[in-house]
Amino acid sequence: MVEEINPFEVVKTQIDIVAKEIGLDPNVVEYLKRIERALIVTIPILMDDGSLQIFEGYRVHHSTVRGPGKGGVRFSPHVYLDEVKALATWMTWKTSLLNLPLGGAKGGVCVDPRKLSKKELERLTRRYTAEIINLIGPDIDIPAPDVNTNAQIMAWMMDVYSMQKGRTVPGVVTGKPIEIGGSVGRESATGMGLYFVLEALCEKLGLKLENQSIIVQGFGNVGGNIAELLYNRGCKVLAVSDISTGIYCQNGVDVEKLLEWVKQGKLLKDYEEKNYKNITNEELLTLECDILVPAAIENQITEKNANAIKSKIVLEGANGPTTPEADAILFKKGIHVVPDILANSGGVCVSYFEYIQDIHSYFWKLDRINEELKRILLEAFEETYKISQERNISLRTAAYIIAVTRIAKAIELRGIFP
């Protein structure tokens, strides 16, 4: 599915939708459909067996008009330039929607990290960082974890950058281990943000969160965290999935046990339990449930399966899981789609807190992190919800109106150089 739909074409369609809604200057529309810069790098890696393997990597800045670039680094065999361009653009909207003084960026390496040893993964990360070093920095662009990258990978990136500068620069990446300048609450922040926004939406819709049944696609950082939070809230989690399979149980799965399993680096297809049924990722999306959380990759809900979605709410943990055609179908069906740029923005929000803490060399307690996170996300949610109600438009279009308007204003105020 990933290759079929180009996510950067999706981005352009989304820009056209919001431009039409608010009558955006066509020159600005054209500008927003471009990225500021992209770097393609070759990463030669000496493998443990002495052979040489060459990988391709990318770092893209979509917009730094409101501040330094911000965005994750993805290691996946499906990564390609247009995907990274799309992900960078979505970061621009996300930081703007939350009104953070940051822009949008993203990076990736086309590699299947499961096929690398830990040493090979470290060499790949270090060489990738060295290759993109001129494009990153605390006041240029600050990477963070994304699919198949984690705190350890951020530690290696921070080390390479610091070695080059001749001093420790923790603020060059976020999502680091706490021992070297990471923030408490960062690892669970995206899931926590999804939870806060979902709670707020349920309240608007008069739904009791604990009575809702849940399905989560993608059981990694984002999907695992939101599944755990909802499970502990008392929700029935009917199904979860990773890249290998989906697991379904009519009476609900034991999220804690499944998390224990995947945290050992194991795949769900190897998990065995009486009453659990293996299903495909495609089947999982169209099962009966109250809240569907796509938390894996892009283009999962398309015009092909949107009509078959049965949930009341789609809470986008992943970036770009729903195509514009599917969006229109879901809106017609009365399904509330909480868009990625709002729903999963808890990650970038706490990344911003980590960045501030690193710059000030002063670290916050978890209570403060979660309190500020909730405040910022609920402000964005309330604003988005209000616009969607006033104009009778989707939450996505409403969120885009806020985000794009702020970017357009920044462009207007700064003017075009020279």
Contact footprint for ligand NAD (CB under 6 A): 145-148, 190, 217-223, 241-243, 281, 295-297, 317-319, 344, 347
3-state secondary structure the chain: CCCCCCHHHHHHHHHHHHHHHHCCCHHHHHHHCCCCEEEEEEEEEECCCCCEEEEEEEEEEEECCCCCEEEEEEEECCCCHHHHHHHHHHHHHHHHHCCCCCCEEEEEEECCHHHCCHHHHHHHHHHHHHHCHHHCECCCEEEEECCCCCHHHHHHHHHHHHHHHCCCCHHHCCCCCHHHCCCCCCCCHHHHHHHHHHHHHHHHHCCCHHHCEEEEECCCHHHHHHHHHHHHHCCEEEEEECCCCEEECCCCCCHHHHHHHHHCCCCHHHCCCCCCEEECHHHHHCCCCCEEEECCCCCCECCCCHHHCCCCEEECCCCCCECHHHHHHHHHCCCEEECHHHHCCHHHHHHHHHHHHHHHCCCCCHHHHHHHHHHHHHHHHHHHHHHHHHHCCCHHHHHHHHHHHHHHHHHHHHCCCC
Cβ distance to ligand NAD smaller for residue 242 or 327: 242
Query: Can 106 be counted among the known catalytic residues?
Result: yes
Nearest-approach distance from CB 64 to ligand NAD, in angstroms? 19
Nearest-approach distance from CB 66 to ligand NAD, in angstroms? 19
Nearest residue relative to ligand NAD (C-beta): 220
Catalytic residue among 70, 85, 106, 374: 106
Cβ distance to ligand NAD smaller for residue 160 or 285: 285
Nearest-approach distance from CB 166 to ligand NAD, in angstroms? 30
- The candidate with the shortest Cα–Cα distance to 239, out of 225, 263, 255, is 255
Nearest-approach distance from CB 276 to ligand NAD, in angstroms? 17
Cβ distance to ligand NAD smaller for residue 147 or 373: 147
Cβ distance to ligand NAD smaller for residue 207 or 309: 309
Nearest-approach distance from CB 319 to ligand NAD, in angstroms? 4
Q: CA-to-CA distance for 390 and 329, rounded, in angstroms?
A: 20
Cβ distance to ligand NAD smaller for residue 136 or 297: 297
Cβ distance to ligand NAD smaller for residue 218 or 339: 218
Nearest-approach distance from CB 417 to ligand NAD, in angstroms? 31
Catalytic residues: 106
